[in-house]
Amino acid sequence: GNSVTQMEGPVTLSEEAFLTINCTYTATGYPSLFWYVQYPGEGLQLLLKATKADDKGSNKGFEATYRKETTSFHLEKGSVQVSDSAVYFCALSDRNSGNTPLVFGKGTRLSVIA
Amino acid sequence: KAGVTQTPRYLIKTRGQQVTLSCSPISGHRSVSWYQQTPGQGLQFLFEYFSETQRNKGNFPGRFSGRQFSNSRSEMNVSTLELGDSALYLCASSRLAQAESSYNEQFFGPGTRLTVL
Protein backbone atom coordinates (compact mmCIF):
# COMPACT_ATOMS: atom_id res chain seq x y z
CA GLY A 1 0.00 0.00 0.00
CA ASN A 2 0.90 3.66 -0.08
CA SER A 3 2.92 5.16 2.76
CA VAL A 4 4.92 8.24 3.71
CA THR A 5 7.95 8.28 5.98
CA GLN A 6 9.33 11.53 7.31
CA MET A 7 12.12 12.30 9.70
CA GLU A 8 11.33 12.14 13.38
CA GLY A 9 11.35 15.36 15.30
CA PRO A 10 11.52 17.53 17.08
CA VAL A 11 13.87 19.70 15.09
CA THR A 12 15.22 22.77 16.87
CA LEU A 13 17.00 25.47 14.86
CA SER A 14 18.24 28.96 15.42
CA GLU A 15 16.71 31.78 13.42
CA GLU A 16 18.19 32.09 9.91
CA ALA A 17 19.43 28.49 9.91
CA PHE A 18 18.90 26.18 6.93
CA LEU A 19 16.07 23.68 7.21
CA THR A 20 15.71 20.24 5.68
CA ILE A 21 12.92 17.83 6.60
CA ASN A 22 13.26 14.51 4.83
CA CYS A 23 10.29 12.73 3.32
CA THR A 24 10.22 9.50 1.34
CA TYR A 25 7.21 7.70 -0.02
CA THR A 26 5.99 4.34 -1.27
CA ALA A 27 3.25 4.32 -3.86
CA THR A 28 1.93 1.85 -6.37
CA GLY A 29 0.98 4.52 -8.90
CA TYR A 30 2.17 8.02 -9.72
CA PRO A 31 1.21 10.14 -6.77
CA SER A 32 0.92 13.84 -6.19
CA LEU A 33 2.95 14.99 -3.19
CA PHE A 34 2.17 17.65 -0.62
CA TRP A 35 3.57 19.41 2.40
CA TYR A 36 1.06 20.61 4.97
CA VAL A 37 1.83 22.79 7.99
CA GLN A 38 -0.03 22.88 11.30
CA TYR A 39 0.44 25.90 13.55
CA PRO A 40 -0.41 25.55 17.26
CA GLY A 41 -4.14 25.27 17.85
CA GLU A 42 -5.00 25.23 14.16
CA GLY A 43 -5.85 22.76 11.43
CA LEU A 44 -3.56 21.84 8.58
CA GLN A 45 -2.77 24.26 5.77
CA LEU A 46 -1.38 23.29 2.40
CA LEU A 47 2.17 24.66 2.15
CA LEU A 48 3.17 23.40 -1.30
CA LYS A 49 2.56 20.59 -3.75
CA ALA A 50 4.04 18.82 -6.78
CA THR A 51 2.02 16.68 -9.13
CA LYS A 52 4.67 14.96 -11.26
CA ALA A 53 8.30 13.92 -11.24
CA ASP A 54 10.88 16.76 -11.22
CA ASP A 55 8.22 19.34 -10.31
CA LYS A 56 9.32 21.80 -7.67
CA GLY A 57 6.71 23.16 -5.28
CA SER A 58 7.45 26.42 -3.50
CA ASN A 59 5.72 28.82 -1.13
CA LYS A 60 6.77 31.31 1.58
CA GLY A 61 10.46 30.49 1.01
CA PHE A 62 9.90 26.73 1.36
CA GLU A 63 10.73 24.39 -1.53
CA ALA A 64 10.45 20.68 -2.27
CA THR A 65 11.32 18.76 -5.43
CA TYR A 66 9.51 15.60 -6.49
CA ARG A 67 12.29 13.02 -7.05
CA LYS A 68 10.90 9.86 -8.57
CA GLU A 69 14.28 8.10 -8.70
CA THR A 70 14.74 8.39 -4.94
CA THR A 71 10.99 8.49 -4.11
CA SER A 72 11.59 11.60 -2.05
CA PHE A 73 10.06 15.02 -1.49
CA HIS A 74 12.32 16.75 1.03
CA LEU A 75 11.25 20.13 2.39
CA GLU A 76 13.87 22.91 2.50
CA LYS A 77 14.08 26.54 3.52
CA GLY A 78 17.19 28.64 3.34
CA SER A 79 16.58 30.83 6.38
CA VAL A 80 13.97 29.91 8.97
CA GLN A 81 12.12 32.38 11.17
CA VAL A 82 10.57 32.01 14.60
CA SER A 83 7.16 32.19 12.89
CA ASP A 84 7.97 28.94 11.02
CA SER A 85 7.66 26.99 14.28
CA ALA A 86 4.97 24.41 13.56
CA VAL A 87 4.40 20.75 12.71
CA TYR A 88 5.07 19.81 9.09
CA PHE A 89 3.37 16.87 7.38
CA CYS A 90 4.37 15.22 4.14
CA ALA A 91 1.47 13.59 2.27
CA LEU A 92 0.65 11.81 -0.95
CA SER A 93 -2.43 11.32 -3.06
CA ASP A 94 -2.45 8.46 -5.52
CA ARG A 95 -5.57 8.51 -7.63
CA ASN A 96 -4.12 5.92 -9.98
CA SER A 97 -4.28 3.32 -7.23
CA GLY A 98 -8.02 3.63 -7.06
CA ASN A 99 -10.13 5.34 -4.48
CA THR A 100 -7.41 5.91 -1.89
CA PRO A 101 -7.43 8.84 0.48
CA LEU A 102 -4.67 11.31 1.24
CA VAL A 103 -1.89 9.52 3.17
CA PHE A 104 0.15 11.48 5.71
CA GLY A 105 3.50 11.05 7.35
CA LYS A 106 3.62 11.28 11.14
CA GLY A 107 4.69 14.90 11.17
CA THR A 108 7.88 16.71 12.17
CA ARG A 109 7.75 19.38 14.84
CA LEU A 110 10.00 22.36 14.12
CA SER A 111 10.97 24.86 16.79
CA VAL A 112 12.90 27.96 15.76
CA ILE A 113 14.56 29.96 18.50
CA ALA A 114 15.61 33.60 18.27
CA LYS B 1 -14.79 33.23 1.95
CA ALA B 2 -15.37 31.50 5.28
CA GLY B 3 -13.16 28.54 6.06
CA VAL B 4 -14.06 25.11 7.36
CA THR B 5 -15.69 25.31 10.77
CA GLN B 6 -15.91 22.57 13.35
CA THR B 7 -17.99 22.46 16.49
CA PRO B 8 -17.46 22.07 19.29
CA ARG B 9 -13.76 22.92 19.57
CA TYR B 10 -13.31 21.02 22.83
CA LEU B 11 -15.23 18.16 24.35
CA ILE B 12 -14.83 16.04 27.46
CA LYS B 13 -16.70 12.75 27.75
CA THR B 14 -16.51 9.63 29.86
CA ARG B 15 -16.04 6.06 28.74
CA GLY B 16 -19.17 4.46 27.32
CA GLN B 17 -20.78 7.72 26.26
CA GLN B 18 -21.32 8.73 22.67
CA VAL B 19 -20.38 11.95 20.92
CA THR B 20 -21.34 13.82 17.76
CA LEU B 21 -18.99 16.25 16.06
CA SER B 22 -20.00 18.69 13.35
CA CYS B 23 -18.20 20.09 10.33
CA SER B 24 -19.35 22.84 7.97
CA PRO B 25 -17.33 22.87 4.74
CA ILE B 26 -16.37 25.83 2.62
CA SER B 27 -19.29 27.03 0.53
CA GLY B 28 -19.42 25.11 -2.75
CA HIS B 29 -17.35 22.20 -1.49
CA ARG B 30 -19.14 18.87 -1.72
CA SER B 31 -16.52 16.57 -0.24
CA VAL B 32 -15.89 16.27 3.49
CA SER B 33 -13.20 13.99 4.88
CA TRP B 34 -12.60 13.19 8.53
CA TYR B 35 -9.25 12.38 10.16
CA GLN B 36 -8.18 11.37 13.64
CA GLN B 37 -4.91 12.86 14.88
CA THR B 38 -3.07 11.35 17.86
CA PRO B 39 0.55 11.67 19.00
CA GLY B 40 1.18 7.97 18.52
CA GLN B 41 -0.59 7.22 15.24
CA GLY B 42 -0.43 10.61 13.56
CA LEU B 43 -3.16 11.49 11.08
CA GLN B 44 -5.43 8.62 10.16
CA PHE B 45 -8.23 8.75 7.62
CA LEU B 46 -11.69 7.97 8.97
CA PHE B 47 -14.06 8.46 6.03
CA GLU B 48 -15.02 10.71 3.17
CA TYR B 49 -18.47 11.88 2.17
CA PHE B 50 -19.36 13.38 -1.18
CA SER B 51 -22.87 14.47 -2.11
CA GLU B 52 -24.34 12.72 0.94
CA THR B 53 -22.71 9.37 0.07
CA GLN B 54 -19.82 7.74 1.87
CA ARG B 55 -17.10 7.38 -0.75
CA ASN B 56 -14.35 5.80 1.29
CA LYS B 57 -13.73 4.49 4.77
CA GLY B 58 -10.58 4.00 6.78
CA ASN B 59 -9.70 1.15 9.08
CA PHE B 60 -11.75 2.10 12.13
CA PRO B 61 -14.32 0.06 14.07
CA GLY B 62 -18.02 0.41 13.43
CA ARG B 63 -18.35 2.64 16.51
CA PHE B 64 -17.19 5.44 14.23
CA SER B 65 -19.82 6.58 11.80
CA GLY B 66 -20.70 9.66 9.84
CA ARG B 67 -23.18 11.27 7.55
CA GLN B 68 -23.50 14.23 5.26
CA PHE B 69 -26.50 16.44 4.72
CA SER B 70 -27.83 18.02 1.55
CA ASN B 71 -26.09 21.30 2.39
CA SER B 72 -22.75 19.36 2.57
CA ARG B 73 -22.45 19.78 6.33
CA SER B 74 -21.20 16.60 7.92
CA GLU B 75 -21.36 14.95 11.30
CA MET B 76 -19.38 12.13 12.75
CA ASN B 77 -20.51 10.03 15.66
CA VAL B 78 -18.51 7.86 18.00
CA SER B 79 -20.48 5.48 20.21
CA THR B 80 -19.35 3.65 23.33
CA LEU B 81 -16.32 5.87 23.79
CA GLU B 82 -13.01 4.37 24.84
CA LEU B 83 -10.00 6.07 26.40
CA GLY B 84 -8.09 5.53 23.14
CA ASP B 85 -10.58 7.68 21.26
CA SER B 86 -9.06 10.78 22.85
CA ALA B 87 -7.71 12.71 19.89
CA LEU B 88 -7.97 15.77 17.71
CA TYR B 89 -10.61 15.14 15.05
CA LEU B 90 -10.06 17.12 11.89
CA CYS B 91 -12.36 17.55 8.98
CA ALA B 92 -11.34 18.74 5.55
CA SER B 93 -13.42 19.92 2.64
CA SER B 94 -12.68 19.99 -1.04
CA ARG B 95 -14.51 20.83 -4.20
CA LEU B 96 -14.06 17.39 -5.75
CA ALA B 97 -14.06 13.93 -4.26
CA GLN B 98 -10.60 12.62 -3.41
CA ALA B 99 -10.84 9.96 -6.10
CA GLU B 100 -11.55 12.50 -8.82
CA SER B 101 -8.29 14.37 -8.66
CA SER B 102 -5.00 13.62 -6.97
CA TYR B 103 -4.19 17.35 -6.77
CA ASN B 104 -7.51 18.35 -5.34
CA GLU B 105 -6.61 20.55 -2.39
CA GLN B 106 -8.23 19.80 0.92
CA PHE B 107 -8.94 22.65 3.33
CA PHE B 108 -8.82 21.73 6.98
CA GLY B 109 -10.81 23.01 9.91
CA PRO B 110 -9.25 23.74 13.33
CA GLY B 111 -10.40 20.42 14.74
CA THR B 112 -12.36 19.20 17.74
CA ARG B 113 -10.24 18.12 20.69
CA LEU B 114 -12.01 15.14 22.32
CA THR B 115 -10.89 13.93 25.73
CA VAL B 116 -12.33 10.68 27.07
CA LEU B 117 -12.00 10.16 30.84
The answer to whether residue A114 scores a pLDDT higher than 90 is: yes
pLDDT digits (tens, 9 = 90+) for B45-76: 999 999 999 988 999 999 999 999 999 999 99
- pLDDT confidence of residue A28: 80
| pLDDT-above-90 percentage for chain A | 74
- pLDDT confidence of residue B106: 85
| pLDDT-above-70 percentage for chain A | 95
- pLDDT confidence of residue A99: 55
Residue A99 contacts B, CB cutoff 8 Å? yes
Residue A31 to residue B102, Cβ atoms within 8 A: yes
pLDDT digits (tens, 9 = 90+) for A2-27: 899 998 889 999 999 999 999 999 98
- In this structure, of A86-95, B16-25, B62-71, the range with the lowest mean pLDDT score is A86-95
Residue B43 to residue A31, Cβ atoms within 8 A: no
- Cα–Cα distance measured from residue B32 to residue B52, given in angstroms and rounded to the nearest whole number: 10
Q: A51 to chain B: which residues are within 8 Å by CB?
A: 102-103
The answer to whether residue A96 scores a pLDDT higher than 90 is: no
The DSSP code for A82 is G
Q: Which is nearest to A102 in space by CA: B62, B77, B93, B28? A: B93
- pLDDT confidence of residue B39: 86
Residue A41 contacts B, CB cutoff 8 Å? yes
Distance between B5 CA and the closest CA of chain A, angstroms: 10
- pLDDT confidence of residue B14: 97
- Cα–Cα distance measured from residue B59 to residue A101, given in angstroms and rounded to the nearest whole number: 12
A43 contact partners, CB below 8 Å, separation of at least 6? B4, B90, B92, B108, B109, B110, B111
- pLDDT confidence of residue A108: 95
- pLDDT confidence of residue A41: 83
- Cα–Cα distance measured from residue B112 to residue B100, given in angstroms and rounded to the nearest whole number: 27
Confidence class for position B40, pLDDT limits 50, 70, 90: confident
DSSP chain B: ----EEE-SEEEE-TT--EEEEEEPPTT--EEEEEEEETTTEEEEEEEEETTEEEEE-S--TTEEEEE-TTS-EEEEE-S--GGG-EEEEEEEESS-GGG-TT---EE---EEEEE-
- Cα–Cα distance measured from residue A72 to residue B90, given in angstroms and rounded to the nearest whole number: 26
- Number of neighbouring beta carbons within 10 Å of residue A102: 26
pLDDT digits (tens, 9 = 90+) for A67-82: 999 999 999 999 999 9
Among chain A residues, CA nearest to B109: A43
| pLDDT-above-90 percentage for chain B | 79
Q: What's CA B35's distance to the chain center, in Å?
A: 5
Tell which wins on pLDDT, A9 or B98.
A9
